[in-house]
Amino acid sequence: MAGDLGRRAAFGVAASAGGALLAGGTAGAAESTVNGKQVSPSFTVVDKRGRQRFLLDSRKPPLIVDGQTYPPERRSGPENGSYLIFNDETGDEKGGLLVHPTGGHIAFDYPHAVDGINLSLSAKDGVGGAGLTINGIPDPDAGPGVRATPRALFGCHTAFGAQLALCDSQGRPRIVLQVDENDRPTIKILDGDGKTINELA
Cα separation of 23 and 42, whole Å? 9
Q: Per-residue confidence at 33, pLDDT binned at 50, 70, 90?
A: confident
Residue type, 201: A
Strands annotated E in 114-160: 114-124, 127-135, 150-157
Q: What is the pTM of this model?
A: 0.77
Q: Per-residue confidence at 90, pLDDT binned at 50, 70, 90?
A: very high
Q: What is the DSSP letter of 83?
A: E
Select from 48, 61, 45, 47 the least CA-distant residue to 3: 61
For residues 150-179, average pLDDT? 97
